[in-house]
Structure 1
Amino acid sequence: MQTSPDVQAPPRSARDVVLPMLFIGLLFFILGFATWLNGSLIPFLKIVCDLNNFQALWVTFAFYIAYTVMALPAAAVLGRIGYKNGMTAGLGIMAIGALLFIPAARSSYYGIFLLALFTLATGMTLMQTAINPYIVCIGSRESAAMRISIMGLFNKGAGIVVPLVFSALILSGVDQFSDSALAALDAAGREAARAELSARLVYPYAVMAAGLLVIMIIIHFSSLPEIALDDEPAKGGDELTRFGVFQFPQVVLGALALFAYVGVEVIAGDTIGLYGHNLGVANFAVLTSYTMGFMVLGYCLGVALIPKLMAQKTALLLSATSGIIFTFGVATSSATDTGISQLLLGWAGVPAVPNTVMFLALLGLANALVWPSIWPLALEGLGKYTAAGSALLIMGIAGGALLPMLYGRISDASGAQAGYWLLLPCYALILFYALVGHKLRRWK
């Protein structure tokens, strides 16, 4: 990216770091709000559009596949317009995606819902490609995971709020749309009931579109500085080549690790409501908040411990190990006993859930520090290839499109609980990156 005369060097003073972090924190909250809405949207659209588990999880596919399709174009756009303008453009595209939910809700046509989700995620891809390297580069690399953890508090904090808001605004009286209630109606009655439920999405998404446009204007006229990456030499040479980023094993393997990570994160956050619904859990619509709550706890630990008490690679190692342990808990523990949730959350008055659901929520704790740890480790030494490396890492988000679909297929064939064995090889790949992959600087 050619820097313009007004481009500033990466800020280093506390004030120059904190102010951009406040703006970026707002953007991370928006990304979290749009992303973790899917966890409540999936069981909702399963009712509205009369879907099975596999069909309902096309929501995650349409949403996360945009990151793969649009990541490289997003990097090209950033190279032309810069990181700050990329953020404002991303917000505008997200607003268009939110507006597409209005005709989707009025028609109850699943294809339009999926198009709206893809458009929304396209804007988010541009935003993600800009703000992740931005937050890495505005301060020291050693504390990058700590800064990303702070951003995670905004992102996953939104994940706690969203299911509660969605449940309050959209799912009041949802019992009248249960499988048994709909089965008691004739075909015309079922269609009318589903259309009534679908129409509840119109107002919230109209408000979301308006809010995104307002924030787009705020960011555009803000004092958020541009970051200059051209001053940092790339170890692979000064000349940029089309596929030059692939000479860096740490970023290629990082993208694979992120593929596995986003897959398990989405499965833990977006299928928990569907899983709870299948098990007959009364509060299934807010179960995503359980996972997000544990993720927030993990991010708080990251802020407190990294880098003073724990290195980024150590955080990644602990995350992968705990993910493997919790996966065994999800796949083998009781679907009726609620002892673990009563032990961990009973003191707070949180409704009890079966042990297998609780282990699924605990994966939020295991997942929290994976993203913050991989980004600085993968981008180290890329220099002028940082934008391309960021795009490659963003493409790893495709794991959120493909792995939940695979889980949906396995759960329909073998049972919802058995489907969670899929998480085991994913955490094994993350463990490999923590132990070996991030250290590699050349292909042998």
Structure 2
Amino acid sequence: METTMSASEQQRSSLMPMAIIGTLFFIFGFITWLNGALIPFLQIVCDLSSTQSLFVAFSFYIAYTVMALPMAWLLERTGYKKGMSLGLAFIAIGCLGFIPAALEQTFAIFLLSQFVVGTGLTILQTASNPYIVHIGPQQSAAARISVMGLLNKGAGVAAPLIFTALVLGDFEGITAKTVAEMAPAARIEHIQALSHGLIAPYLGMAIALAVLAVALKFSPLPELQIESSQEELKNQGGKSSVLQFPQLVLGAITLFFYVGVEVIAGDTIGLLGSKLGVANATSLTSFTMAFMVMGYLLGLVLIPRLISQAKALAISAVLGLVLALSVVMSDPGHQWVSALVWGWLGLPLLPNTVALVALLGFANALVWPAVWPLALEGLGKFTARGSALLIMGIAGGAVLPLLYGVLSDLMSNQRAYLLMLPCYLFIFYFAVAGHKKRRW
């Protein structure tokens, strides 16, 4: 792969681009994981059912599918640097949309604003992921993406805490149940005060993002010009569509399954814990996130020094299969898994079923960093559109958790994790064979 930067120039200038793109990845994580706090908040403010409140996440994730190709078209015309600046501007506009939504307490405006925010993140993700892949050597791309993942997940830890402090600081202990028990006049007053609490934080976010958009446009971040090498041109064989690259299409399907199992592991552990009577079940997601961070750190140490990106992906898939099957077969009446893994640290012990779901975070950590470079290899001038196709795979985060919910109603929360088995099997296929395909 050839870019406008030579290898020596890449080495000298890699720190600055990594810092700038790292800031963007922190923003991805912060805004994405705000959904976890926003969903129960809007359930109260807009008087929603549980199913209706889930459309907050759906409108966010569906933007990745609907807008990925149009944003790739835009990216090809603006370049990666200007495209990322435009992405920040879109997110700022989406944040501004929360102000009239909060004033009117209108759920439709909230959903539209979420879609605009998701559109901005689609541009940022489409541009920044291939940027990280091509800013340095191909064989260490997964390690660089792992650094970005650490920033992303770190922001995911901070976002709900900051949201709670800024928006709910004066409403300690308020829940949908406590609001429902209030007298009508008091309920209206509290809901209005809650809703208006969104205005200042989202206005502040919009201003900060607008400033970042301008700063990024005039920053010294080098423009990434990805051109096909002679070997890649030969392999492309006059191809005119990204769908003619098997490794890319299979990579997008892999990411669909991956994002689905990642969201299931992170978002359903609290539901499972609540069913089993675990205290403070709403905080259980932090266990899954902590194991994801551990996985990213391990990836930084091992890839590519000791294992290749493809091998790391295969190991992750096998571990995911073992853990998902163990979740289904485990006995929630025992706690020896958590006692063995973290009990010696003095942390709370959890039922085996819940502990095994948390450990899925470790299995999931290296999938995203490994799939991107393997799927984009050899695309050359098709990289922007290829990245957009991969971004569309994020729709798995909207579809598969809903399917998990249907299965949990039909069977049980524990048995519904069977849904993960075919997902990890496909990830394993991509790791051992799918990423090598160059012809259908």
- Same-fold call, TM cutoff 0.5: yes
Tell me which residue corresponds to 1:9.
Answer: 5
In structure 2, give the amino acid aligned to 1:177. Answer: T
Contact kept? 1:54, 1:405, Cα under 8 Å? no
Tell me, in whole angstroms, the C-alpha distance in 2 between the residues paired with 1:73 and 1:177: 40
Tell me which residue corresponds to 1:144.
Answer: 141
1:112 aligns with 2:84: no
Tell me which residue corresponds to 2:73.
Answer: 76
Shift of 1:319: 1.0
Tell me which residue corresponds to 2:322.
Answer: 325
1:200 aligns with 2:212: no
Shift of 1:147: 0.9
Tell me which residue corresponds to 1:262.
Answer: 259
Equivalent position SS for 2:198:
helix
Shift of 1:420: 2.8
Which digits, 9 at most, give the CA deviation of each residue in 1:57-90, with x for residues without a partner? 2222111111111111111111101000001000
Of the structure 1 ranges 399-408 and 19-28, higher mean CA displacement relative to structure 2 is found in: 399-408
Tell me, in whole angstroms, the C-alpha distance in 1 between the residues paired with 2:429 and 2:334: 34
Of the structure 1 ranges 83-92 and 151-160, higher mean CA displacement relative to structure 2 is found in: 151-160
Aligned 1:124-163 pairs, distance under 5 A = 124-163=121-160
Tell me, in whole angstroms, the C-alpha distance in 2 between the residues paired with 1:82 and 1:339: 53
Tell me, in whole angstroms, the C-alpha distance in 2 between the residues paired with 1:327 and 1:129: 30
Tell me, in whole angstroms, the C-alpha distance in 2 between the residues paired with 1:207 and 1:340: 43
Tell me which residue corresponds to 2:418.
Answer: 421
Tell me, in whole angstroms, the C-alpha distance in 2 between the residues paired with 1:279 and 1:188: 36
RMSD of aligned C-alpha atoms? Answer: 2.6
Tell me, in whole angstroms, the C-alpha distance in 1 between the residues paired with 2:59 and 2:82: 25
Shift of 1:313: 0.8
Tell me, in whole angstroms, the C-alpha distance in 2 between the residues paired with 1:344 and 1:200: 41
Tell me which residue corresponds to 2:89.
Answer: 92
Contact kept? 2:147, 2:300, Cα under 8 Å? yes
Shift of 1:292: 1.8
Return the match for 1:355 from 334, 352, 355.
352
TM-score of the superposition, structure 2-length normalised?
A: 0.90
In structure 2, give the amino acid aligned to 1:175. Answer: G
1:300 aligns with 2:297: yes
Change (3 A) 1:164 1:322: farther
Which digits, 9 at most, give the CA deviation of each residue in 1:190-245, with x for residues without a partner? 4444444343333322222222122212211111001111253444547562xx21
Shift of 1:143: 0.9
Identity of matched residues, %: 55
Equivalent position SS for 1:185:
coil
Tell me which residue corresponds to 2:307.
Answer: 310
Which digits, 9 at most, give the CA deviation of each residue in 1:123-156, with x for residues without a partner? 0000111011111111111111111111111111
Change (3 A) 1:56 1:281: farther
Change (3 A) 1:349 1:40: farther
Tell me which residue corresponds to 1:42.
Answer: 39
Contact kept? 1:128, 1:394, Cα under 8 Å? yes
Alignment coverage as a number of residue pairs: 435
Change (3 A) 1:359 1:102: farther
Shift of 1:338: 4.9
1:404 aligns with 2:401: yes
Change (3 A) 1:59 1:345: farther
Contact kept? 2:44, 2:179, Cα under 8 Å? no
Change (3 A) 1:324 1:96: same
In structure 2, give the amino acid aligned to 1:76. Answer: W
